[in-house]
Chains A and B, each alone.
Chain A
Amino acid sequence: MKDKIFGVLQRVGRSFMLPIALLPVAGLLLGIGSSFTNATTIETYHLGKFIYEGGVLYTILDIMSKTGSAVFDNLALLFAMGVAIGMAKKEKEVAALSGAIAYIVMNTTISALITAKGGVEAMAENSTTSVLGITTLQMGVFGGILVGLGVAALHNKFYKTELPQVLSFFGGTRFVPIVSTVTYLIVGIIMFYLWPIVQLGISKLGVLVLNSGYAGTWIYGILERALIPFGLHHVFYMPFWQTELGGSMMIDGNMVAGAQNIFFAELASKSTEVFSVSATRFMAGKFPFMIFGLPAAAFAMYKTARPEKKKVVGSLLLSAALTSMITGITEPLEFTFLFVAPLMYAVHCVLAGLSYMLMHILNVGVGMTFSGGLIDMTLFGILQGNAKTHWIWIVVVGLIYAVVYYFVFYFMITKMNLKTPGREPDDVEPKLYRRSDVNEAKAAKVKSTDKRASDVVSAMILKGLGGKDNLSDVDCCATRLRVTVNDASKVMDDMLKASGASGVIHKGNGVQVIYGPKVSVIKSDLEDFIDSPYSDDPDSIVGTEKASDKIEEKPQTEGAENTETNGKTITLYSHMNGTAVKLEDVEDDVFSQKILGEGAAVEPSEGKLYAPCDGKIDSVFDTKHAVNMVSDDGVEILLHIGIDTVKLGGQYFEAHVSDGQEVKKGDLLISFDMDKIKAAGYKVTTPLIIGNTDDYASVEPVAQNSVSAGDMILKIK
């Protein structure tokens, strides 16, 4: 169970990467834009001449600030969609759509309930916000994650659900947005009653903090960090910054309440000699860990990333670290490890709390507009002078913090093998199945399950469409599977009808197979099947006893039998003019001992290599002395001119085909200067090797003595 939760958290963390990659840019826009449009900043530094409302510079900065802010304001929506995409197993675009819808539905539900209760005024202070123009409860990113996770779970459960025939248009992926809407309507109602209780608890904590001195400052710091992922930090710190909870003070004859207000009043006042730390204790603690600590943590994550991932991870971490350092926007960095390593985040919270307390003890009086980056430290610390602010302690503590963060993170990551960015296991390619997976699947196939039945249908469809390699595109509309194939002549209508289709329509290379409204489920099954290893050989499923039973259940199966290709013999034709040589007699043990596979060889009489069958070029070696191709029947063929000729580095060879090219039997593939190659000391014996020999019952050479290109050379069963 613990492992399972941990695994889910890791996937959530990974699914965050998409929206997170946007945050550093948004953070810079917001940080720079808002710092220099802040009325206090402008006034303090007499920038009014250049930056004034309506002026060009102001407008540019304002646009920066607002666009950056738009990303942060809608972060919850981005996470609702991002997490849904990341956690959905298939048909991810449907999950994204459902995530967006569910998020809007949930907030709209809450909004309606707020109105019913008497509007924002009836709610606790700072507990509401506006999201996408909807007045709703302040739930922060937590709201988005709640939606993303739930929708992904619904999606994975229902995206293949079949509904009764009458309603089947609404089945499969179309059912996901529907069920998400209904579910999140209910979730919205629950949250309306539940969330204010959580919020109340948080603001009670605030009172506790205020009454406990240095320790209170520490707790304040820890909580402020710990609440970030839940979006509750605003509920928590805003009262300190903006209300008498953060203290009140008489400045120049005016009563000022709230930590931030006090700081800025002092900043504006000519009579301030030292900034009151009783106010800045709720702010100054951010500087050491945002400017020094977190970037050092990022460096530790970079150092512990796998070597081949460093480049990619480096750019993500560097931009996130710079954002934290310059603007004091830490989410991009914190979210990279929050979900993959919650324990590390907990340590970070404790250290952050300690930073607040140290700033309090050391009497550091630096405030901020909204966060603790270099911009604010410069404007409100350094430029105010050390005498007033004691800002130098930020640097002293900060440097220690950098060392502590680096070693703590480095140690935790390596000792606990935490999967921070660049350390996660590679996403296994869809085709690479573990042996155990295959065995499980085989076992499942033997046992009678629904899964097998749908696989049989999928296998029949795939076979009817001419096999996996014949597919170029698969899609569906309300009732039809719409497929684009490479070769329309390979489509077998009978087989498709046997799979349950009521009709097949051909239009050039386009094929429409009519299944009725249940088609979206059929399509999902088919896609799953195509991703599975069996799809390379649908016969293995269709050809089994069980499958033929299945076929016989259907009335329109006549003709399905004769499409059976099991036991068919595939013939390859000589790739050269010359003399046939047994593979055993080739003077290279890699070939003669059949390490590469069975096959046959030709001692050429002419420097030309031809295609032994119809097929597709998989790859031409850079050195042009060998070609891999796949026949239309799926035989993997290696044609290798000469022995050790790789050492010629391409000299004396000329390729006439390129990777991916379709070829017909007898097409010229490579020409080569036989005499010069021989003169260089190499043999030109040319084996033709079946790379996937294991897939066949027998590979039998049939040519002897002299052969011409196009004569039969191998029979494969």
Chain B
Amino acid sequence: MKTFSYTITDEVGIHARPAGLLAKKAKEFESVCTIEKGGKSVNITKLMALMGLGVKQGDTVTVTCEGADEDKASEALKAFFEETL
């Protein structure tokens, strides 16, 4: 299991566009990737749940990847967060 935390710097947070891109990124991997904010945790590939988290600028989220390629998945998602969010 790989975990990292990230504090959102993008001013509009995880709205439709980044949610779509993020889910797409997570689907590339076999590992199950979840994102947690304020005690609520959802699967990143579940678009509606992901958007439902309402992640905004300044929120700290914890991303967890678990599965065969968890290292790669975690790295890729981390890179995505750093670039996009």
Docked CA distance A316–B10 (Å):
34
B2-43 residues with Cβ-Cβ distance < 8 A to A are 5, 12, 15-17, 19-21, 23-24, 30-32, 34, 36, 41-43
Docked CA distance A308–B16 (Å):
26
Q: Give every chain A residue within 8 A of B60 (Cβ-Cβ).
A: 308
- Closest chain B CB from A688 CB (angstroms): 12
Q: Give every chain A residue within 8 A of B24 (Cβ-Cβ).
A: 595
Q: Give every chain B residue within 8 A of A618 (Cβ-Cβ).
A: 48, 52
- Residue pair A621, B1 in contact (C-beta under 8 Å): no
Q: Give every chain A residue within 8 A of B12 (Cβ-Cβ).
A: 623, 646-647, 649
Tell me if A530 is interfacial: C-beta within 8 Å of chain B: no
- Residue pair A590, B17 in contact (C-beta under 8 Å): yes
- Residue pair B51, A621 in contact (C-beta under 8 Å): yes
Q: Which of A60-68, A287-295, A431-439 contacts B (4 or more CB under 8 A)?
A: A431-439
Docked CA distance A307–B7 (Å):
12
Given contacts A432-B34, A595-B24, contact A590 B16 (CB under 8 A): yes
Docked CA distance A597–B23 (Å):
11
Docked CA distance A434–B51 (Å):
21
A581-610 residues with Cβ-Cβ distance < 8 A to B are 588, 590, 595-597
Docked CA distance A640–B23 (Å):
17
- Closest chain A CB from B24 CB (angstroms): 5
Tell me if B54 is interfacial: C-beta within 8 Å of chain A: yes
Residue of B nearest to A431 (CB): B43
Residue of B nearest to A596 (CB): B20
- Closest chain B CB from A419 CB (angstroms): 13
- Residue pair A432, B41 in contact (C-beta under 8 Å): yes
> Which of B41, B52, B54 is the one whose CB lies under 8 Å from A429?
B41
Given contacts A432-B43, A435-B30, A630-B48, contact A595 B20 (CB under 8 A): yes
Q: Give every chain A residue within 8 A of B54 (Cβ-Cβ).
A: 619, 621-622
- Residue pair B34, A308 in contact (C-beta under 8 Å): no
Tell me if A692 is interfacial: C-beta within 8 Å of chain B: yes
The interface residues of chain B, by DSSP majority, are classed as mixed
The interface residues of chain A, by DSSP majority, are classed as loop
Q: Give every chain B residue within 8 A of A595 (Cβ-Cβ).
A: 20-21, 23-24
- Residue pair B64, A426 in contact (C-beta under 8 Å): yes
- Residue pair A646, B67 in contact (C-beta under 8 Å): no
Q: Give every chain B residue within 8 A of A434 (Cβ-Cβ).
A: 32, 66-67
> Which of B15, B62, B64 is the one whose CB lies under 8 Å from A646?
B15
Mark B47-73 against chain A: 1 for CB-CB distance below 8 A, else 0.
110011010100010101011000000
Q: Give every chain A residue within 8 A of B31 (Cβ-Cβ).
A: 435
Tell me if A425 is interfacial: C-beta within 8 Å of chain B: yes
Docked CA distance A114–B19 (Å):
68
- Residue pair A692, B48 in contact (C-beta under 8 Å): yes
Q: Give every chain A residue within 8 A of B42 (Cβ-Cβ).
A: 432
Residue of A nearest to B51 (CB): A628
Docked CA distance A588–B16 (Å):
12
- Residue pair B5, A308 in contact (C-beta under 8 Å): yes
Pairs A-B, 10 closest by C-beta atoms: A596-B20, A691-B47, A595-B20, A619-B52, A636-B48, A646-B15, A691-B48, A590-B17, A646-B12, A590-B20
Known: A628-B51, A649-B12. 16 other contacts (CB 8 A): A307-B5, A432-B41, A432-B42, A432-B43, A434-B32, A435-B67, A595-B21, A595-B24, A618-B52, A619-B48, A619-B51, A619-B52, A622-B54, A638-B51, A692-B46, A692-B48
Task: Please give the residue numbers on chain A whose beta carbons come within 8 Å of chain B beta carbons, in ascending order.
Answer: 307-308, 425-426, 428-429, 431-436, 588, 590, 595-597, 618-619, 621-623, 626, 628, 630, 636, 638, 640, 646-647, 649, 691-692
Task: Please give the residue numbers on chain B whose beta carbons come within 8 Å of chain A beta carbons, in ascending order.
Answer: 1, 5, 12, 15-17, 19-21, 23-24, 30-32, 34, 36, 41-43, 46-48, 51-52, 54, 56, 60, 62, 64, 66-67
Sample of 28 A–B contacts (CB below 8 Å): A425-B1, A426-B41, A428-B41, A432-B43, A435-B31, A435-B32, A590-B16, A590-B17, A595-B23, A595-B24, A596-B20, A596-B23, A597-B47, A618-B48, A618-B52, A619-B52, A619-B54, A621-B15, A621-B16, A622-B54, A623-B12, A628-B51, A628-B52, A646-B12, A646-B17, A649-B12, A691-B47, A692-B47
